[in-house]
Amino acid sequence: MQTICKSPTDLTNEELEGIIDLIMDYRPTTRIEIRERLLNSRAISIAIIDNKVVGTATLKIPNDIYADNAFLKAVSIYEYNDFPFELGYMVVLPNYRNLRIASQLVALLCSTFENENIFAVTKANNNSSIALKLKLGFIETGKEFKDRKTIDDLKLFIKLRKQ
């Protein structure tokens, strides 16, 4: 397996399409929206096995309104303006789960951007994602809150830059 971290503009078309395919299976949205969000991200880590993208994680540049709402709804003591990046689009193909791929992808992003504050929003019942974030140094901040589009309960996590 090869894990790499790239700027979105450095992705090959095959890598970008593979990432979009992964996310489309996970998020109810359009290919165009995902492509735009990916291309406006700071960095994307991918896992490749046999020339196929099997996992991805992204450091997105958050939408100010979304980020502000997450921090306000969680009643966090932190300010969203202090967090330039959001960890998101963390997806691994089902047949490749439980192989520590997501952990490697997120660790790669976090080590590459260790001098930046990062936040992540996770469904409150996504125990594997929560465990991964805690293992990699994220901390939960604030309280659970409702998603603006669904009835899901969400949690806010932050990773503070290396001192």
For residue 63, what pLDDT is reported?
85
Strand-pairing partners, residue 154, are 123, 145
Q: Which residue range forms the structural domain that includes residue 74?
A: 2-159
Side chain identity at 148, as an amino acid letter?
R
Residue 21's pLDDT band (cuts 50, 70, 90): very high
pLDDT surpasses 80 at 27: no
Between CA 118 and CA 60 the distance in angstroms is 10
Q: Which two tokens stand for residue 29?
A: 């949205």
Overall residue count recorded for the chain in this entry: 163
For residue 66, what pLDDT is reported?
82
Residue 163's pLDDT band (cuts 50, 70, 90): confident
Between CA 1 and CA 129 the distance in angstroms is 21
Domain count, the chain: 1
Q: What angle do CA 109, 140, 161 make, to 5 degrees?
A: 40
At 63, which CATH number? Answer: 3.40.630.30
pLDDT surpasses 80 at 149: no
**pTM of the model as a whole:** 0.92
Q: What is the pLDDT of residues 94-112, one digit of tens each?
A: 999 999 999 999 999 999 9
